[in-house]
Chain A
Amino acid sequence: MQGSGRGETGNDAAAVTRRYFLRDCAMGLGTVALADLLQREERAQGAERRTDPLAPKPPHFAPRAKRVIFLFMAGGPSQADLLDYKPALAKYHNQAPPREMVERLRLAFAQRNARLLAPQYAFKKCGQSGAEISDAMPHLREIADDITIIRSVHGDHFNHAPAQIFFNTGSGLPGRPSMGSWILYGLGSQADDLPGFVVLSSGGGTSGGTANFSSGFLPTHFAGVPFRSQGDPIVDVRNPAGVDDTLQRATIDVVRQLNEKRLQQVGDPQIASRVAAYEMAFRMQRRAIELMDYSKETSATLEMYGAQPGKATFANQCLLARRLVERGVRFVNVYLKGWDHHSNVKGGLKSMCGKSDRAAAALVKDLKQRGMLDDTLVVWAGEFGRTPIVEANATLGRKAGRDHHPFAFSIWMAGGGVKRGFTLGASDELGFYCAEDPVHIHDIQATIMHLMGLDHKRVTFTYQGRSYRLTDVHGNIVHKLMEHA
């Protein structure tokens, strides 16, 4: 991390060497279970754990958040109908916007001469804070005093795949490490028997595909591990047909014994790593099954989320996200696609909010009840927002829709040191561009890193002759949205 991963990580090799000689050679391994030894030693000696690329590392400064749940609303939810109330849009509904507003606008489908479209839902001030939230999100209203809404987010990318990849990796092209990977790289993992970075998706994929959670040029350890939405969460986590746990254990044992013999003959410390990986895999198999067993969740909890065990729903994924962070997972991405409302934005939002509003709010409430909200950051965002002008096209059969709009859109964040009951920034009167406190996506990324106790400028990796970071050469921390900033 600091100093680009050069130099410092050279010590890893030295540490392995030292350990190898101390234990494997000098002491003689004999029939002692190497993996057990390794674990015992790791637990006893924190210092030795540096050799593990995912071993916890100290943050740069005291973190406000220890873990992140990022609810990614793929497709681009319409801020003007959800979180960014624009009375002027209602007032000038069906009128042409000022020319200078549309001149600079980039459009995919909507025509430059399209009219303004009024908010499709009524807005109300909610809670003590008076945050303005639309009728489409009744459950979010209940937690208005727990969240920060940012109404002035802007980004550079206009199409789904590049914009999603940008939000997740800081670049519009595939190949860079994602936010979760950078954070794991910077802080290591706290999970003993689960991946440190988990990706959930309630059915269907996202435009950005695996590039959204790739470790890019960072080692594969740091990649997000996609969990399947139904059945076993991790690919190949279940024993093959006919193989019971006793046979699985016996197999791992005989493999370990043979590997240990090989280690004595050829002296390659990688073999010790592989033995440990098998032990961890065995633990992961158990944990993954325990993880999916919701029987200990109270019916009140299930009810609050609207979760139905066994189904591939966003509600289930939100609950699973909580269960994951409880078990030490550092970064969870929950993808929900379907927000790309080029037509009938009203009906589209009704459907999407119906799938997600209750569960997203429940997640925040649940974390709060369990005392975890203070150090768990929840982010709700799409890759961009939608136009204040209407998208309609007779040939396409589209009406009352909205086009892509990365120039001013809204997201919300909660917990992890973020202000409660706060609204940051504003778009202009019609919602075309940012008017107050513009927040670039790079700024969000820098801020998430900051909340996790990492200086986004110092979490770097040298690749192809230069040092890279999540925020490229950009990113300003948004101090205004932090509690006691």
Chain B
Amino acid sequence: MRSVVCWTVFVLSAVAFGSTVSSHADDVVDFARDVRPILASKCFACHGPDEDAREADLRLDTRNGATAVRDGSPAVVPGKPDESPLVERVESADEDERMPPPDSKLTLNDAEKRMLRRWVEQGAHYSKHWAFVPPKRPAFPDVADEDWIRNPIDRFVLARMKQAGLSPSPEADRYRLVRRVYLDLIGLPPTPEEVDAVVNDPRPDAYERLVDRLLASPHYGERWARPWLDLARYADTNGYEKDRPRTIWPYRDWVIDALNHDMPFDRFTIEQIAGDMLPHATIAQRIATGFHRNTMLNEEGGVEVEQFRYESLIDRVNTTGAVWLGLTVGCSQCHSHKFDPMTQTEYYRLLAFFNNADEPELAIPDADIARRRARLRAEIEQRERELATKWPAAEGTDPREEARRRQHAWETEQIRKTHDWHPLRPVLTDSRKGTTFTELDDRSLLAGGNRPNNDLYRIAFEVGTDHLTGLRLEALPHESLPAGGPGRAPISVGKIITEGDFLLSEFRAYLVPPGEALEARQLVRHSTENWKPLAIHRVTASHAWKDSTGDKTQDGNLDTGWRIGEETGKAHHLVFELAEPVAVPPGALLVVDLEQAYIHNMVLGRFRISGTSDRPPLASSGLPAEVESALRIPPKRRSPQQAWMVQRHFLRTAPELKDEVARIDALRATMPRFVRTLVMQERLPQVRRTTHRHHRGEYLKPKEVVTPGVPAFLHSFPKGAPRNRLGLARWLVDRRNPLVARVVVNRQWQVLFGRGIVKTSEDFGTQSSPPSHPKLLDWLAVEFMDRGWSLKQLHRLIVTSATYRQSSRVTPESLARDPENIWLSHAPRVRLEAEQVRDTILAAAGMLTERIGGPSVFPPQPEGVTSLSYGSLAWKTSSGADRFRRGIYTFLKRTAPYAMYGTFDAPTRETCVVRRGRSNTPLQALTLLNDVVIMEAAQGLAWQMVHRPATGDDASIRRLFRRILTRPARDTEVDLLRGFLKSQRGRLARGELDAAAICGVKRPAKTENSKGRREQDAELAAAVRDRLRHLGQAVPDKPVDAARLAEWAAWTTLVRALFNLDETITKE
């Protein structure tokens, strides 16, 4: 579409700053201001920090480099431009000589050439880029107009404004100011009553009191979480092709809560980067680490899991760089940075901090859920214990007696199938793909750490007997595993994969002679040459899925193996009968290989190996291990628990009780689950991962090993801090960090003023745009740190300044002199953020649900939006109050985001976004005119006008105006709206418009003469009631008749028009 004038997106600093530079023409050259930008944009690509790209061994980003003698002479001779090859080459008319060379497509203009000459003339001084020098509290500039000053911000702003020949605007009128500060601090417009309270408050600090109230509002956290969640790339799906839903909303709620409690920004940082590593980390602190779990996850078939783990590490480094350092560190992934002094090795040293974390889910304890679970478990046990009483028995006989009798027979039969198994103690574990193992109390191993597509587990066991005739592998459930395990497959894929399943391709066992030295993490690489492979005669399974039987683990074909299919959440086993008894010398170890060569994380999650010396034949008993061993104990010697275990198994598997057992299992299926959220968990030192530099950033090209460390050009690592994520977090918010406070303060400024003091808020490096108010930025940064990193205090400081409180009216003078309003001679007038557009309209309609937190919701949106993504997520539109939640709670599907938000420039949250665009397009007009959300809000608000009408149309129009735009309407505005209303009333009366359709009321179907008038009226009234309930509106006692419906429709058209005003979706 031909879109329209949209200069806010396109305005650039070059124009404004051009004059600043030239005005210094006769002054002393300032390297940072005048020279570095030229060198950085025109020279550093070949003569900068990147040693691989460096031409002619010349480096111009340091003075040493520029003045070093190469080929007999330095490039720059300080003070002597005519002897400096740099000046000569730059000024040369000869194409072969000239720098930059013509094929670079870069050129220097005359002013730039003169600047370089003068710089050399004045001694070729270098200075550090301003943003890499820690901020110091600057002196206040002198200002003439003391009366205008409300706090120090105003001094800095006024001084620059005057230099630009501009004057401040008067304070905005109360209505607009109140609306502005509501939108800025809590993201919602005020109600007319709230505004009146402030407007009519005679106290001189009425505004400041309002600010304090808003800062204390629970909606403050919701409003300020939004920009933070853009940085955190928070979303409710995994991204990439499958883009499955994930649960990480507890992290979103943590952010809201932390902001509401004004958690100091340094702590806010530490908990998100390394909350899991804090001493005695709380659940909340672990939830906070979700920040870096918001990276995408590629679950496409056939992906190399480790490759995409690497991609997410890259994302973590880049996001950390953008959020806390304001640096585009991502450039150094492939090569040393072209412009900023960061080497490629330093990039991977940062990455090393993140490389040692596992990525588990955390089940969030919840007393209520725990209680409900305990209650249900007790009930299930109770009903299981009563199973025997349900035994079908002849009349007059005791069913329990009958069951006991049958159990006895069953036991006699079963006992013959059992063997004397003893679980082997694992002594060493290793895996090819970085899986780690935790030994549980019962000697089973729980897999953790990496979750690769395929893997080889190699485990060494003590045998404990002098010979072996067979082995048993149990695949065991565990509640931390997908679908309860025993496998780790995270998703079901058609008929190919079942969540919680695994595929064991091959099973091998070796006897390792005593004395052979084995090392835990070297086991997979260890040669099997001296090990004695145990020949397996026969494999039997307790259960197998279709053709995936136990013997497939011995066929040498990696495509086939043992799996359990849909029988997840239960224990299963294989029994391997050895070809001949194997003598086990003292000190010998048994090594077991579990080769799992399948896809989609079809690997074992929990397992246990047992051995037996029983005489063959050996086969699976089909019984769970605990039952099998209890059975072998004579009934009288069994503990009550063992006795119950045997009895329970008998009862649960008896065909006679099938239906009753199914009822119990149905009850078990209703077991409430704890909410699980994605977190980071540092790996133990013994399984620490090794980090490499990657050539050109490619996953498949690891080079030398690097250790965790921070870039040399920034402050040093804090003394005594551990070289891990926690240490990194402390380093980020170290007071010596020149960037963090400036970067954070700048982003707050950007939210409040529509642009940052540094416009390129994502980049404070040498290529960034210079700050419009450098001293103000430094003052705010220092103030922020001195006030204990309090964001609320920072926000209070800014919104109580005279600068903020100005009118947003654009005068011809300011537009001509400063079209971008860099010098802040008036307040900004900016379109609301995507979510705010929705929130504001719903709030104005009085329909916004105020509930904070919880799972994301699915407000209505046009059909077919999510069908454009691969998974075609069914958008199950929420009903009731969840239809009208704040935008921050809308389910965010990365590959098909909520349509309205994309239209209003919200990002897809696939990567960190520091600065949203702000466009103005016809698609936005279509949304506001036609979208169902806006229409419902219009119907709801219109009903309120009809349900409790004011005295006369004019009064109603004025009331609406206050609801939607806060300020009182002007007479000419009322005139226009009255005319519109009248015209629509006329069309409704003439039957040109369908009132029911406009109000979303389902008009009863007309049937020929079968219904009387009265009946039709009643049906219409019922349909209206349904609609009102759907909209959450008051239902009148008296039935709504056709005339009232027409009135509702007329007001709906009017409200809809008001929602479409530019002012409605603008902060003035």
Contacts and interface: CB of A to CB of B under 8 A. Distances in A.
Interface string B849-886: 00000000000001111011111100000000000000
A230 B9 CA distance: 33
B811 interface: yes
Contact of A238 (B767, B902, B930, B983): B930
Contacts of A210: 868-869, 895-897, 902, 908
Given A52-B2, A395-B503, 5 more contacts: A209-B896, A242-B995, A243-B930, A394-B547, A404-B302
Contacts of A221: 3, 6, 9, 919, 921
B868 A201 contact: yes
B819 A6 contact: no
Contacts of A284: 1, 922, 926
A205 B931 contact: no
Contact of B819 (A16, A175, A192): A16
A308 to B, nearest CB: 19
B911 interface: yes
B1053 interface: yes
A161 B1061 contact: no
B14 interface: yes
Greatest chain B CB density within 10 A among A214, A225, A246, A273 is at A273
A397 B766 CA distance: 57
Greatest chain A CB density within 10 A among B3, B296, B808, B973 is at B3
A266 B1068 contact: yes
B290 interface: no
Given A6-B12, A13-B15, A242-B1049, A280 B925 contact: yes
A204 B1053 contact: no
B862 A235 contact: yes
A45 interface: no
A25 B328 contact: no
Contacts of B809: 265-267
Greatest chain B CB density within 10 A among A220, A229, A267, A342 is at A220
29 contacts: A13-B820, A21-B815, A109-B302, A111-B558, A161-B240, A189-B1, A195-B923, A196-B1, A205-B869, A205-B870, A209-B896, A235-B923, A238-B930, A242-B997, A242-B998, A246-B987, A246-B992, A262-B1062, A266-B829, A271-B1062, A274-B4, A277-B922, A281-B922, A284-B922, A394-B547, A395-B547, A395-B560, A457-B105, A465-B766
B576 interface: no
A251 B925 CA distance: 12
Interface residues of A, number: 113
Interface string A207-218: 111110010000
Interface in A242-275: 242-244, 246-248, 250-252, 254-255, 257-259, 261-262, 265-275
B994 A242 contact: yes
A20 B7 CA distance: 13
Contacts of B339: 465-466
Given A241-B998, A276-B4, A466-B338, A231 B983 contact: no
Contact of A281 (B296, B548, B563, B926): B926
A16 B998 contact: no
B1060 interface: yes
Interface in A61-102: none
A108 B302 CA distance: 4
Given A273-B4, A277-B925, A280-B1, A247 B987 contact: yes
Contact of A254 (B865, B925, B976, B987): B976
Contacts of A394: 547, 557, 559-560
Given A52-B3, A210-B869, A17 B1057 contact: no
Contact of A209 (B561, B760, B870, B995): B870
A175 B819 CA distance: 30
A267 B870 contact: no
A228 B1 contact: no
Interface in B977-1035: 977, 979-980, 983-984, 987, 992-1000
Contacts of B865: 235
Q: Is the interface of B mostly helix, strand, loop or mixed?
A: loop
Interface residues of B, number: 129
A111 B302 CA distance: 12
A49 to B, nearest CB: 9
A164 to B, nearest CB: 9
A9 interface: yes
Interface in A146-204: 158-162, 173-175, 189, 191-196, 201, 203-204
Nearest to B1000: A241
Given A21-B816, A237-B926, A209 B869 contact: yes
B258 interface: no
A258 B1056 CA distance: 13
Nearest to A240: B935
Interface string B892-934: 0011110100110100101100000101111111110111100
A204 B867 contact: yes
B4 A251 contact: no
A294 interface: no
A241 B936 CA distance: 11
Q: What are the nearest 9 A-B pairs in CB distance?
A: A209-B895, A108-B302, A242-B997, A465-B767, A242-B998, A207-B241, A281-B925, A10-B15, A267-B810
A127 interface: no
A194 B1061 CA distance: 23
Contacts of A276: 4-5
B981 to A, nearest CB: 10
Interface string B55-90: 000000000000000000000000000000000000
Contacts of B932: 240
A38 to B, nearest CB: 8
A266 B806 CA distance: 13
Contacts of B820: 13
Contact of A266 (B2, B808, B973, B983): B808
Nearest to B980: A254
B111 to A, nearest CB: 13
Contacts of B767: 465-466
A389 to B, nearest CB: 14
A223 B298 CA distance: 24
B812 interface: yes
A395 B862 contact: no
Interface in A298-322: none
B812 A267 contact: yes
Nearest to B930: A236
Contact of B868 (A189, A205, A259, A466): A205
Given A10-B11, A13-B819, A465-B339, A225 B829 contact: no
Nearest to B830: A270
A410 interface: no
A250 B983 contact: yes
B314 to A, nearest CB: 9
B921 A277 contact: yes
A254 B973 CA distance: 10
Interface in B925-951: 925-927, 929-932, 935
B984 to A, nearest CB: 7
B1061 A220 contact: no
Contact of A244 (B330, B599, B993, B1060): B993
A3 to B, nearest CB: 10
Contact of A9 (B12, B331, B810, B984): B12
A413 interface: no
B707 interface: no
Interface string B740-778: 000000000000000000001011011110000000000
A393 interface: yes
A254 B897 CA distance: 32
Contact of B872 (A10, A54, A205, A251): A205
A223 B921 CA distance: 11
Given A13-B819, A53-B9, A270-B920, A251 B862 contact: no
A30 B372 CA distance: 69
B840 to A, nearest CB: 16
A161 B976 contact: no
